Amino acid sequence: MTAWGEMTTGEETTADMTTSAPAQVAGVPVPLDVEAVRRDFPILGRAVRGGNDLIYLDSGATSQKPRQVLDAERDFYNTRNAAAHRGAHLLGEEATDAYEGARARIAAFLHANPDEIVFTKSATESVNLVAYAMSNAGTSGPQARRFAVGPGDEVLVTEAEHHANLVPWQQLCERTGATLRWFGVQPDGRLDLSNAAELINSRTKLVAVTHQSNVTGVVPPVAEIAAAAHAHGALVLADGAQSVPHQPVDVTRLGADFLVFSGHKMLGPSGIGVLWARRELLEAMPPFISGGSMIEVVRMEGSTFLPPPARFEAGVPAAAQAVGLAAACDYLDALGMANVAAHEEALTAHALKALSGINGLRVLGPLNTEHRGGAVSFVLDGIHPHDVGQVLDELGIAVRTGHHCAWPLHRALGAQASTRATFYVYNTHDEVDALADGIRQAQEFFGSESAGAA
Q: Which residues bind another protein (CB under 8 A)?
A: 49-50, 383-387, 390-391, 394, 401-403, 407, 410, 416-417, 445-447
Q: What is the DSSP letter of 58?
A: B
d(CA 15, CA 27): 19
Query: Do you know the residue count of the chain?
Result: 454
**Residue 50 or residue 302: which is nearer to another protein going by CB?**
50
User: What amino acid occupies position 6?
Assistant: E
- Cβ-in-10-Å burial (0-12, 13-18, 19+) of 444 comes to exposed
CA of residue 17 relative to chain centroid, distance = 25
Cα Dmax for the chain: 73
> β-strand 55-56 against 397-398: which pairing, if any?
parallel
> β-strand 154-158 against 204-210: which pairing, if any?
parallel
What minimum distance in Å lies between the beta carbon of 390 and another protein?
7
**Residue 191 or residue 379: which is nearer to another protein going by CB?**
379
What minimum distance in Å lies between the beta carbon of 263 and another protein?
23
> DSSP string spanning 300-335?
TTEEEEPPTTGGG--SS--HHHHHHHHHHHHHHHHH
Active-site residue flag, 173: no
What minimum distance in Å lies between the beta carbon of 417 and another protein?
3
**Residue 205 or residue 410: which is nearer to another protein going by CB?**
410
What minimum distance in Å lies between the beta carbon of 198 and another protein?
30
What minimum distance in Å lies between the beta carbon of 134 and another protein?
24
Nearest to 329 by CA among 256, 249, 217: 249
**Residue 335 or residue 379: which is nearer to another protein going by CB?**
379
d(CA 48, CA 36): 22
- Cβ-in-10-Å burial (0-12, 13-18, 19+) of 451 comes to buried
What minimum distance in Å lies between the beta carbon of 387 and another protein?
5
- Catalytic, out of 405, 413, 434, 436: 405
**Residue 105 or residue 400: which is nearer to another protein going by CB?**
400
d(CA 269, CA 65): 7
**Residue 27 or residue 51: which is nearer to another protein going by CB?**
51
Point out the residues that are catalytic: 405
